């Protein structure tokens, strides 16, 4: 379902396990995120574009500017409440023709969170279509318990694992066709994935995992916690300080002076 009203967003999310919000951020900011990906790839030529995880960006002012954008944080609060922190992020950038698939899985099966109260905002930085490997979900599967993910090395894929096929009926799968600045929101239990990029265009998205401050990250180094809205909970997580921009060290972006 697509909506802009907060109650309708939450209702669709609770019923289907996902919802789409259009034009959440402006296209100029989405374009800067695509440029940020290329900057990161130039800095880390050993990495594939699908593998730009949060640990590369702790202390990165542009990344922080993006994940702390009030429009995104306020949207997350619709699903997890008024006290919002960041758990982790992941740029999944699929290059033309060679972008790898993400096999069917449940996000929460991978995460050391207690309790697993979390929602993912998938920010489209470029156009996302079936041809370039957009995300797909199986509606209603957010009612499943978390399943163990099984290794799959036979297919060259992003996660190296997948959910057992018995839990997947993709006849009703929904493709998330998104424009830059659109956001899909999905439950950590919903079964989802994406196909390979067979097109001539990049597919760039940033997954942002927001948690209520009552959720604990139980393994050191598993996330990049920042307090983004509301109040922290005593003895639950230790949050990083807001990063500061340094010329020549960080990605140059339009609002860098706000982070000096």
User: What is the torsional sign of CA 134, 139, 145, 150?
Assistant: negative
Whole-Å CA distances, 101 to 1, 130, 152: 24, 12, 12
Apex CA 179: angle with CA 172 and CA 83, to 5°? 85
**Tens of pLDDT, residues 96-110:** 999 999 999 999 999
Whole-Å CA distances, 252 to 65, 66, 162, 258: 12, 13, 37, 12
pLDDT of residue 3: 53
pLDDT of residue 6: 79
SS3 at position 37? helix
Residues of the chain with pLDDT under 70: 1-4
């Amino acid at each position: 379902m697509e909506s802009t009203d907060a109650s309708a967003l939450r209702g669709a999310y609770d019923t289907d396990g996902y919802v789409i919000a259009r034009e959440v951020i402006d296209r100029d900011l989405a374009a800067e995120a695509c440029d940020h990906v290329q900057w990161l790839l130039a800095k880390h030529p050993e990495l594939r574009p699908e593998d730009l995880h949060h640990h590369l960006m702790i202390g990165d002012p542009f990344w922080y500017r993006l994940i702390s954008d009030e429009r995104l944080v306020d949207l997350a609060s619709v699903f997890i409440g008024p006290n919002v922190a960041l758990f982790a992020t992941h740029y999944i950038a699929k290059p033309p023709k060679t972008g790898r698939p993400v096999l069917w899985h449940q996000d929460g099966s991978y995460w050391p969170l207690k309790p697993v109260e979390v929602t993912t905002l998938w920010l489209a930085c470029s156009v996302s279509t079936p041809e370039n490997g957009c995300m797909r979900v199986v509606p209603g599967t957010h009612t499943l318990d978390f399943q163990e993910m099984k290794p799959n090395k036979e297919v060259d894929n992003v996660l190296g694992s997948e959910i057992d096929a018995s839990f997947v009926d993709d006849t009703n799968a929904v493709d998330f066709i998104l424009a830059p600045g659109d956001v899909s929101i999905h439950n950590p239990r919903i079964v989802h994935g994406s196909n390979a990029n067979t097109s001539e265009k990049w597919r760039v998205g940033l997954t942002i995992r927001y948690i209520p401050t009552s959720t604990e990250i139980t393994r050191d180094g598993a996330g990049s916690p920042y307090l983004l809205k509301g109040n922290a909970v005593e003895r639950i997580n230790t949050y990083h300080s807001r990063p500061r921009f340094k010329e020549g060290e960080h990605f140059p972006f339009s609002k860098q002076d706000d982070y000096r």
